Structure 1
Amino acid sequence: MKIPLDYLCVRSGLLCNRCQSLVDSGQVDQFEVKVMEALLDLEETQFRELKDATYYKAIRSGNLLILLVESPPSIDSSKWIKIARALQDKLKLKVRILEKTTSIKNSAVQLLSPARVLGVNTVWLPDGSVQYVIRVAKNEKRLLPANAVDLENALSKIHDTKVKIRVE
């Protein structure tokens, strides 16, 4: 798997100057080193297909860990679900793996699954900023993978903009 840090640094736990500067600057969080190590372990032991995948970021919101990856054609969504389950066992967190995309709707559909996204509204605020409202059916609220606040925080971090989830 292609990762932003050096393989040797992640494996040993001792970071070189370049890797340490990435962690210090905030481009890579400290907990992401453990996530990368777990992914490399899975690549060696169970999922050889991961060598062609690219890791971008891990976002932790509450008890939910969201991984942003770019997937090769050899890994389909069912394989990513198996990888997420294996990571859950290793990290003791609920794991969701999302394909990196610039579309808020695509990210929301992947993250909120199995709940259906009814739509995404763009709200222009008086100060000139933009807020996105993701609409989910009331009867599917129980299908959300985590509470709405954690999901809102995660989507906001992924897209660097304010995101709200409205159950209607």
Structure 2
Amino acid sequence: MVKIPFCEFCVKTRVLCQKCQSLIDSGRYSWLDVEVSDALLKVSRKMNLSEVEYVKSYEVDDLLIILLRNVKRIPRGAFMQLEKELSSIIGRSVKVVEHGSVNEVIAQLVSPAKLLTISTSWLPDGTTETVVKIPSRELRRLPIKPERLQAIISQISGATVKVELVKERELRV
């Protein structure tokens, strides 16, 4: 069975116990997380997700990004089936992402577009900014618009992120 932060009974009935309600009240999770947990429980009846652990979900326009741990252990075909099953249960496009380092998450969110570089700049005030460079020719392959991608990476990582599209001529210089 997939590991979720809520009690299975609470997720199925949508009547939360004190522990589950406190997770939502604290702002750590939302009702979206309860809905996604329910969908994961339904999918786990068909697929073996015993190693998988739910982390968090994020909404971007009509796309739902679901962060999971240990999802890389699932074979590629089963992984695609997982996204398909979750999409049909939830009723919108789903992208499942392995929770890991910021760079790993960025690479998965940008996929199938190619990534040029990910770099960190230290600013004079002591903060950092992560700069993600993507070749402009890859724009049509990006699953999320660059400005939305920037917002979602910032939300997931808690860091300031800037997504830049780089033209071919700028690469040769």
SS at match of 2:49: helix
Partner of 1:121: 119
Residues 133 and 164 in structure 1, CA contact (< 8 A), matched pair in contact too: yes
Partner of 1:75: 74
What does 1:4-153 align with in structure 2 at a 5 Å threshold? 4-44=5-45, 46-47=46-47, 49-71=48-70, 74-102=73-101, 104-153=102-151
Deviation at 1:40, TM superposition (A): 0.5
Structure 2: distance between partners of 1:72 and 1:165: 26
Structure 2: distance between partners of 1:151 and 1:93: 18
Deviation at 1:18, TM superposition (A): 0.5
Letter in 1 for 2:20: C
- The number of residue pairs the alignment matches comes to 165
Structure 2: distance between partners of 1:72 and 1:134: 24
- Quickly say closer, same or farther: Cα 1:149–1:138, change in 2 above 3 A: same
Structure 2: distance between partners of 1:95 and 1:21: 27
Residues 135 and 167 in structure 1, CA contact (< 8 A), matched pair in contact too: yes
Residues 114 and 138 in structure 2, CA contact (< 8 A), matched pair in contact too: yes
Partner of 2:170: none
SS at match of 2:50: helix
Once the two structures are aligned, what percentage of the paired residues are identical? Answer: 32
Taking only aligned residues, the RMSD between alpha carbons, in angstroms, comes to 1.4
Structure 2: distance between partners of 1:55 and 1:11: 16
TM-score (structure 1 length as normaliser): 0.92
Partner of 1:166: 164
- Quickly say closer, same or farther: Cα 1:164–1:8, change in 2 above 3 A: same
Deviation at 1:42, TM superposition (A): 0.9
- Quickly say closer, same or farther: Cα 1:122–1:31, change in 2 above 3 A: same
SS at match of 1:50: coil
- Quickly say closer, same or farther: Cα 1:73–1:120, change in 2 above 3 A: closer
Deviation at 1:111, TM superposition (A): 0.9
Residues 84 and 97 in structure 1, CA contact (< 8 A), matched pair in contact too: yes
User: Which is greater in Rg?
Assistant: 2
More deviation in 75-84 or 21-30?
Answer: 75-84
Structure 1: distance between partners of 2:76 and 2:103: 17
